[in-house]
Structure formats: C-alpha cells, structure tokens
Amino acid sequence: MKNISLIPAIIAVAVAALIGLLAGTLCESKNYDVIIGIATGVSLAVTLLPMLAIRTDSTRLDINLRIVSTIFAVLLLIVNFVVCFSTPQKLTIYFIILGLILLVYIGVLYSLVRSLE
C-alpha cells in the first residue's frame, strides 16, 4: 500500500519551485531564464515527491526509493545548473537530456516498486 503524505508533498513542490526560481535567476542567458527555471522546478518536483512524500509498507522499498530519488535529484541539479551557467545555443539538447534522465528515473522507480512488492 502506497501513501502520499500531504505536508511533505507540499514541501517538496515548494522546494522544487524555489530551486527553479533560483536557477532562472542565476541563468546566464536572459532569453531562456524562464524556460530553464520552469524545467528545473518540474524536474526536481518529479524526483522530490517520491523522496519526501511517498510511504509504503516495506521499509526496504522506502529506503531504495529515497536513495534512487536522491541520486537522480543531484544528477538533475548538476545538469540544470551546468546549462544555467553556460549559454545554451539550442534548448533542444537540454530537453532531450532532461527527458532521458527523467525517463530512466521513472523506469528505475517502476522496476523497484514491481520487484519489492
């Protein structure tokens, strides 16, 4: 049984939004600052929600979810801030890399949940 705790979910989304705002503010290219800020916030919200808000009956699954979510959140932060501090010529490559990382993350989470249930 999976439960989503409301208060940690709100905190996770708020933290992701604030980090997205920080990324947009620190962005070198003022043409893409809003886009990079929104992409950072959404991608971090996807990883922070399972890390902070999802509780299961299995302690092993909870620990594995948190570890995998933390690893991918740090990876996404690195990618987002590298793009933020460099001047992106095309955002297409950025979105492809971000999408691939998120799809791998969702696939890993799916396999974790399926294997430990």
Q: What is the domain partition of the chain in residue ranges?
A: 3-116
Count how many Cα atoms sit within 13 Å of the Cα of residue 91 in the half-sphere of its side chain: 13
Proportion of the chain above pLDDT 90, given as a percent: 51
pTM above 0.85, yes or no: yes
Q: Judge whether 34 and 86 are in contact, CB under 8 Å.
A: no
At residue 12, what is the residue type?
Answer: A
Mean pLDDT in the chain? 88
Average pLDDT over residues 61-81: 92
Q: Within a 10 A sphere around the Cβ of 30, how many other Cβ atoms?
A: 8
Average pLDDT over residues 89-116: 89
pLDDT in tens, 13-70: 999 999 999 988 888 777 888 888 899 999 999 999 999 988 888 888 889 999 999 9
Please check the confidence at residue 104 and state whether its pLDDT lies above 70.
yes
**1: confidence class by pLDDT, cuts 50, 70, 90:** very low
**Greater pLDDT, 74 or 113:** 74
